[in-house]
Amino acid sequence: RRHTGGGAAWQWAGMTTRRPGRHVPDSGLRLASLADVPRITAITAATSDEPWSPDLIAQLIGQPGGWAVLTAPAGVGLGGFVLGRSVGGEAEIVNLAVAPEDRRQGLGGALLNAAILRAAGDRATALFLEVAVDNVAARALYDAAGFKIVGRRPDYYARPGNSRIDAIIMRRDLVSPEA
């Protein structure tokens, strides 16, 4: 069975953000706009060895099929974001990050759920992402959400000291009632 969300009619209403044994009472999920680029840029600066530029973030949000979701725990802190795009029946999470001070509150799971719902609402049949092979927490989150390893990108992510590390490509199938 497929889950559809109707593209433009897609809404957050009724979405729950749960992890086993845990509920996030106020993750503050909302669609991001170009006005949110400075906040997203600040989160990438706090979480990445290769932070994204404001121009790159704005370009992704502004392109056809591009989308971003922000979260802020109870409206404080930097929170987190997920950036993605949906094109040609497939969707991709291009970046998902939670500020270090806001981790371990279920925000990553809430953002991942939002991305899955958005991709399904855009009628994508599959959702892809890349994750560093050494990012144990993220890989566990994606595994629990039903993503499967489908490939590998050698030397994809930068690390301190001019080193590089491989990325694992993961995929989750999405279904709709028409199938």
Our answer to whether residue 142 is catalytic in this structure is yes
pLDDT confidence tier of residue 11, bands split at 50, 70 and 90: very low
69: left (phi over 0), alpha (psi -120 to 50) or beta: beta
Percent of the chain with pLDDT over 70: 79
**Catalytic one of 142, 156, 157, 178:** 142
Our answer to whether residue 130 is catalytic in this structure is yes
Q: Exposed e or buried b for every residue in 87-108, given b needs 16+ CB within 10 A?
A: eeebbbbbbbbbbeebeebbbb
The one-letter amino acid code at 36 reads: D
How far apart are the C-alpha atoms of 158 and 121, rounded to whole Å? 33
**Catalytic one of 101, 130, 156, 178:** 130
- CB neighbours of 76 closer than 8 A, spacing ≥ 6? none
pLDDT confidence tier of residue 74, bands split at 50, 70 and 90: low
Cα 168 to its chain centre, rounded Å, is 15
Per-residue pLDDT reduced to its tens digit, 31-57:
998 999 999 999 999 998 888 999 999
Of residues 55 and 12, more confidently modeled: 55
Per-residue pLDDT reduced to its tens digit, 107-129:
999 999 999 999 999 999 999 99
User: Is the pLDDT assigned to residue 136 strictly greater than 50?
Assistant: yes
pLDDT, mean over the chain: 82
Return the SS3 of 86: strand
Lowest mean pLDDT among 18-22, 60-64, 66-70, 172-176: 18-22
The pLDDT assigned to 76 comes to: 67
- CB neighbours of 104 closer than 8 A, spacing ≥ 6? none
Tell me which H or E stretch contains 28.
none
